[in-house]
Amino acid sequence: MSHQDHPSNINKPRRHFLRLTGASVGVITLASVAPKFARADDLPHLTSDDATAKALGYVEDSAKADSAKFPNHKPTQQCANCNFYQGAAGSEYAPCTLFPGKAVRGKGWCSAYVAKA
């Protein structure tokens, strides 16, 4: 039996391939999950210039919502107590499922408001 035919040498390429494949799957999995855990501090704040924000009448201060344009708005409605708000109670800014990749102000409001259950 030659040195190249030794059983431990035959399996080296296969072991290397399996390690590389396992590591690649791990990196891909982490990369796909990581954006879901983005902190609000890392996200840009949503501005009223954003096209979706304009369409939904987003304002950073619920008290400044246009009551003529949005007659169903109530002063107690704020992003922080909306079903779409992803932040903890009391957080100033947090992600919102309606505005992916942006953080909305907890005291803000938009016409898509739905009270948390």
Note down the domain range covering 81: 40-117
Residues 78 and 100 grouped into a single domain: yes
Any idea what the CATH number is for the domain that residue 50 is in? Answer: 4.10.490.10
Confidence class for position 89, pLDDT limits 50, 70, 90 = confident
Confidence class for position 48, pLDDT limits 50, 70, 90 = confident
Entry pTM: 0.65
Residues 33 and 78 grouped into a single domain: no
Which of residues 32 and 80 earns the better pLDDT score?
80
Instruction: Report the alpha-carbon distance of residue 77 to residue 74 in Å, rounded.
Output: 6
Which of residues 4 and 56 earns the better pLDDT score?
56
Which of residues 15 and 66 earns the better pLDDT score?
66
Question: What's the full length of the chain, in residues?
Answer: 117
Rounded to an integer, the average pLDDT of 39-60 is: 89
Q: Are 58 and 84 contacting, i.e. CB atoms less than 8 angstroms apart?
A: no
Instruction: Report the alpha-carbon distance of residue 55 to residue 8 in Å, rounded.
Output: 65
Q: What are phi and psi of 74, to 5 degrees?
A: -125, 145
Instruction: Provide the pLDDT for residue 34.
Output: 47
Instruction: Provide the pLDDT for residue 30.
Output: 46
Residues 79 and 64 grouped into a single domain: yes
pLDDT at 90 over 70: yes
